[in-house]
Structure 1
Amino acid sequence: MVMSTFSVVDYVVFILLLVLSLAIGLYHAFRGWGRHTVGQLLMADRKMGCLPVALSLLATFQSAVAILGVPAEIYRFGTQYWFLGCSYFLGLLIPAHVFIPIFYRLHLTSAYEYLELRFNKTVRVCGTMTFIFQMVIYMGVVLYAPSLALNAVTGFDLWLSVLTLGIVCTVYTALGGLKAVIWTDVFQTLVMFLGQLAVIIVGSTKVGGLGHVWAVASEHDRISGIELDPDPFVRHTFWTLAFGGVFMMLSLYGVNQAQVQRYLSSRTEKAAVLSCYAVFPCQQVVLGMGCLIGLVMFAYYQKYTMSTQQSQASADQFVLYFVMDLLKDLPGLPGLFVACLFSGSLSTISSAFNSLATVTMEDLIRPWFPEFTEARAIMLSRSLAFGYGLLCLGMAYISSQMGPVLQGAIVGLLAGLIMAFWIGIGSIVTSMGSSIAASPPNGSSFSLPSNLTTATVTTLMPSTTLSKPTGLQRLYSLSYMWYSAHNSTTVIVVGLTISLLTGGMRGRPLKPGTIYPVLPRLLALLPLSCQKRLCCRSYSQDLPVDTDLFPEKMANGVLSDSKDKEVVALDGWAQQGSSPTFILQETSL
Structure 2
Amino acid sequence: MKKYFCYIFLFFITLNSKANDIPKPYLQWTQLPAIPDQVGFAGSFAGVSNGALLVAGGSNFGIGGTPWNGAAKTWSDKVFVLEQPNGKWKEAGRLPHPLAYGVSVTWQDGVIVAGGSDASMHYNEVFMLRYKNGVIETENLPALPAPIANACGIVIGSTLYIAGGTSGPNAAQAATNFWVLDLAQPAARRAWKVETPWPGPGRMLAVAATQEGAFYILSGAAINKQPGDSTVHRTFLKDAYKYMPGKGWSRITDLPQSVAAAPSPAFTTGQTHLLVFGGDNGQYFDRNATLQQKHPGFSNEVWMYNSITDSWSTIGNVFTDHRADAEQNPLNSTWAPVTTTAVVWNGNLVLPGGEVRPGTRTNRVLMATPVQPPGGFRLLDWTIVGIYFLLVIGISVIVSRNMQRTTSGFFLGGGKIPWWAAGLSIFGSKLSALTFIAIPAKAYATDWVYLLNNVMIVVVAPIVVYFYLQYFRKLKLTSVYEYLNIRFNRQVKWLGSLTFVLFQVSRLGIVIYLPALVLSAVTGINIFICIVGTSLITTAYSVSGGIEAVVWTEVMQVGVLLGGALATLFFIAGSLHGGFGQLFTEAMGHDKFRLAIPDWTITEPVLWVVFVGGFLTQLVTYSSDQVVVQRYLTTSTEKEAKKSIYTNAILVIPASLIFFSVGTALWVYYRHHPAALNPHGRTDDVFPWYISNELPSGLAGLVIAGLFAATMSTISSSMNSIATVITTDFYQSARPASTDKQRFVFARWVTVLLGALGCLIAIYMVYLRNASIWDQYIKIIGLFGGCLAGMFVAGIFFPRITSKGIFIGFVVSAVCLYFIQAANIINFFLYPAAAVLICVLVAYLASMKTNRQ
Normalised to the residue count of structure 1, the TM-score between the two structures is: 0.72
Structure 1 residue ranges without an equivalent (≥5):
427-471, 507-589
Pair 1:146–1:417, CA change in 2 (3 A): farther
Aligned to 2:841: 493
Question: CA offsets per residue over residues 497-553 of structure 1, 9 Å max, x none?
Answer: 22222228x9xxxxxxxxxxxxxxxxxxxxxxxxxxxxxxxxxxxxxxxxxxxxxxx
Aligned to 2:631: 262
Tell me if structure 1 keeps the 8 A contact 2:613–2:833.
yes
Aligned to 2:651: 282
Q: Which amino acid aligns with 1:125?
A: W
Tell me if structure 2 keeps the 8 A contact 1:53–1:263.
yes
| Bigger radius of gyration | 2
In the alignment, structure 1 residue 7 sits paired with structure 2 residue 375? no
State how far apart, in whole Å, the 2-side matches of 1:291 and 1:66 are: 9
State how far apart, in whole Å, the 2-side matches of 1:266 and 1:139 are: 25
Higher relative contact order (CA 8 A, sep 6+): 1
Q: Which amino acid aligns with 1:169?
A: T
State how far apart, in whole Å, the 2-side matches of 1:187 and 1:153 are: 23
**Cα distance, 1:421 vs structure 2:** 3.2
In the alignment, structure 1 residue 213 sits paired with structure 2 residue 583? yes
Q: Which amino acid aligns with 1:379?
A: V
In the alignment, structure 1 residue 416 sits paired with structure 2 residue 822? no
**Cα distance, 1:56 vs structure 2:** 0.9
Aligned to 1:230: 600
Aligned to 2:387: 16
Aligned to 1:529: none
Aligned to 1:571: none
Matches within 5 A, 1:161-560: 161-207=530-576, 208-224=578-594, 226-235=596-605, 237-307=606-676, 309=678, 311-327=679-695, 330-404=696-770, 406=776, 407=779, 408-424=805-821, 426=822, 472-473=823-824, 475=825, 478-503=826-851
Question: CA offsets per residue over residues 298-354 of structure 1, 9 Å max, x none?
Answer: 221243343251x44321112222333321xx1122222322432442132111100
**Cα distance, 1:178 vs structure 2:** 0.9
Using the aligned pairs only, state the percent identity.
Answer: 26
State how far apart, in whole Å, the 2-side matches of 1:158 and 1:314 are: 13
Q: Which amino acid aligns with 1:13?
A: I
Structure 2 residue ranges without an equivalent (≥5):
1-25, 27-372, 780-804
**Cα distance, 1:153 vs structure 2:** 5.2
Q: Which amino acid aligns with 1:229?
A: D
Q: Which amino acid aligns with 1:422?
A: F
Tell me which moved more, 75-84 or 293-302.
75-84
Pair 1:331–1:376, CA change in 2 (3 A): same
Q: Which amino acid aligns with 2:440?
A: P
State how far apart, in whole Å, the 2-side matches of 1:141 and 1:219 are: 34
Structure 1 counterpart SS, 2:476: coil
Q: Which amino acid aligns with 2:485?
A: E
Tell me if structure 1 keeps the 8 A contact 2:616–2:832.
yes
Tell me if structure 2 keeps the 8 A contact 1:87–1:241.
no
Tell me which moved more, 389-398 or 364-373.
389-398
Tell me if structure 1 keeps the 8 A contact 2:528–2:763.
no
Tell me if structure 1 keeps the 8 A contact 2:806–2:839.
yes
Tell me if structure 1 keeps the 8 A contact 2:531–2:763.
no
State how far apart, in whole Å, the 2-side matches of 1:325 and 1:5 are: 5
Q: Which one has the bigger helix percentage?
A: 1
State how far apart, in whole Å, the 2-side matches of 1:275 and 1:142 are: 23
Pair 1:399–1:296, CA change in 2 (3 A): closer
Pair 1:349–1:419, CA change in 2 (3 A): farther
Pair 1:103–1:29, CA change in 2 (3 A): same
Question: CA offsets per residue over residues 3-42 of structure 1, 9 Å max, x none?
Answer: 332101111222333322222122111125xx53221111
Matches within 5 A, 1:117-156: 117-152=486-521, 154-156=523-525
State how far apart, in whole Å, the 1-side matches of 2:399 and 2:672 are: 49
Pair 1:240–1:126, CA change in 2 (3 A): same
Pair 1:401–1:204, CA change in 2 (3 A): closer
Tell me if structure 2 keeps the 8 A contact 1:58–1:279.
yes
Pair 1:204–1:189, CA change in 2 (3 A): same
Pair 1:135–1:82, CA change in 2 (3 A): closer
State how far apart, in whole Å, the 2-side matches of 1:410 and 1:137 are: 23
Tell me if structure 2 keeps the 8 A contact 1:191–1:339.
no
Normalised to the residue count of structure 2, the TM-score between the two structures is: 0.50
Tell me if structure 1 keeps the 8 A contact 2:521–2:689.
no
Pair 1:90–1:224, CA change in 2 (3 A): same
Q: 1:40 aligns with which of 400, 409, 413?
A: 409
Pair 1:317–1:226, CA change in 2 (3 A): closer
Pair 1:164–1:16, CA change in 2 (3 A): farther
In the alignment, structure 1 residue 27 sits paired with structure 2 residue 398? yes
Tell me which moved more, 494-503 or 79-88.
79-88
**Cα distance, 1:371 vs structure 2:** 2.3
State how far apart, in whole Å, the 2-side matches of 1:258 and 1:86 are: 19
Pair 1:188–1:132, CA change in 2 (3 A): same
Q: Which amino acid aligns with 2:623?
A: G
Q: 2:467 aligns with which of 87, 98, 108?
A: 98
Pair 1:167–1:196, CA change in 2 (3 A): same
Structure 2 counterpart SS, 1:63: helix
Q: Which amino acid aligns with 1:481?
A: F
State how far apart, in whole Å, the 2-side matches of 1:18 and 1:418 are: 44
Question: CA offsets per residue over residues 406-442 of structure 1, 9 Å max, x none?
Answer: 3322222222322333334x2xxxxxxxxxxxxxxxx
Structure 1 counterpart SS, 2:422: helix
Structure 2 counterpart SS, 1:62: helix
Tell me if structure 2 keeps the 8 A contact 1:22–1:169.
no
Tell me if structure 1 keeps the 8 A contact 2:412–2:633.
yes
**Cα distance, 1:85 vs structure 2:** 4.5
State how far apart, in whole Å, the 1-side matches of 2:836 and 2:440 are: 29
Tell me if structure 2 keeps the 8 A contact 1:192–1:343.
no
State how far apart, in whole Å, the 2-side matches of 1:412 and 1:189 are: 39
State how far apart, in whole Å, the 2-side matches of 1:384 and 1:122 are: 22
Aligned to 1:551: none
Structure 1 counterpart SS, 2:600: coil
Q: Which one has the bigger strand percentage?
A: 2
Question: CA offsets per residue over residues 250-283 of structure 1, 9 Å max, x none?
Answer: 1111210111111111110010011101111211
Question: May I ask how many residue pairs the two structures share in their alignment?
Answer: 450
State how far apart, in whole Å, the 2-side matches of 1:62 and 1:4 are: 25
Pair 1:502–1:104, CA change in 2 (3 A): same
Aligned to 1:510: none
